[in-house]
Amino acid sequence: MFMDYHHLKSRLFAPVHQQYAERDAMLYALSLGLGRDPLDAASLPFTYEGTEGGLRALPTLAVVLGYPGFWAREPDTGIDWVRLLHGEQRVRWHQPLPASGSVVGVSRITRLTDKGPDKGAVLVTERRLESQAGELLATLEQVTFLRGNGGYSQRAGQASDEPLRALQPTPEGQAPDWCYEQAIRPEAALLYRLMGDYNPLHADPAAARKAGFERPILHGLASYGLVAWAVVRRCAGGDASRLKALDIRFAAPVYPGETLITEIWRVPSYPEKFQLRARVAERGVVALSHGYAEIL
């Protein structure tokens, strides 16, 4: 399948205008498991509109807003979308998201890097999430591994960008400063898909088995939201508005019903910076790795 570097880099994305209500912000928080404990006061600002100070949106709600859709499946891209993997997610928040409002997502392809014929290619898509007034709310970078498109730059006239700055692995042989354990609801994927990702891989056992999984898996961005909440609870005293950056690599699938343990390390000499990873307790596998977070 032929993928043209210049065609992709010049691809135009129509701005995505999206309106969301407080109900959407609450449903998003509930899909991540907030409210599981009815006595957990830290969850109430995100799940109950009657809380003191009013309802607030989790910062990671940004990942489901202004999304341009699964455009890589369109024939003109030349992308082998069946072998595509969402490899990393990186977000910078410039100001807190309102609990409801109208936003605009403006996307562009910033990097396309050829790793070689047997190693695939790496695509980086940037999405700027703005208010209708043009205020920048968040900048999102999605790193996609194109396993079926390696070696494309060997064709005449093709190019390859310098790779994105690599994420750093978490410390080896050093105990984390904090751990946060989250039991994932058995129906978590069915709830999270209501955010707009209706891939049957997350709902239909037959589709999951066809893709090589024993049962439906949790959305990668749902596990990203779980890790973000762990950082907010352990490093920001429950104040989600203090989360300013979160980068993560998706290393292995997570299944609904499992337990996710987020391990967090302080970065020496930088009290506002942290490294992290998340592992599945039942299988002992690291599901999210090379994590980095910043707290205001």
Query: Is 238 annotated in the active site?
Result: no
Q: Which of 66, 109, 202, 247 is catalytic?
A: 202
Q: Which of 217, 248, 264, 295 is catalytic?
A: 217
Gap between the Cα atoms of 172 and 217, Å rounded = 28
Q: How far apart are the first and last CA of the chain?
A: 45
Query: Is 202 annotated in the active site?
Result: yes
Per-position DSSP letters for 35-92, written without gaps between them: TSSTT-TTTHHHH-TTSTT-----GGGGGGSS---SGGGSGGG---GGGEEEEEEEEE
| β-pairing verdict for 120-131 and 84-93 | unpaired
3 state SS of 188: helix
- Burial tier of 270 (Cβ tally within 10 Å: 0-12, 13-18, 19+): exposed
Residue pair 93/293 in contact (Cβ under 8 Å)? The answer is no
Query: Is 184 annotated in the active site?
Result: no
Q: Which of 87, 105, 120, 220 is catalytic?
A: 220
- Counted residue by residue, the chain has a size of 296
Q: Which of 197, 238, 239, 257 is catalytic?
A: 197
Query: Is 94 annotated in the active site?
Result: no
- Burial tier of 76 (Cβ tally within 10 Å: 0-12, 13-18, 19+): exposed
Catalytic annotation, residues: 197, 202, 217, 220
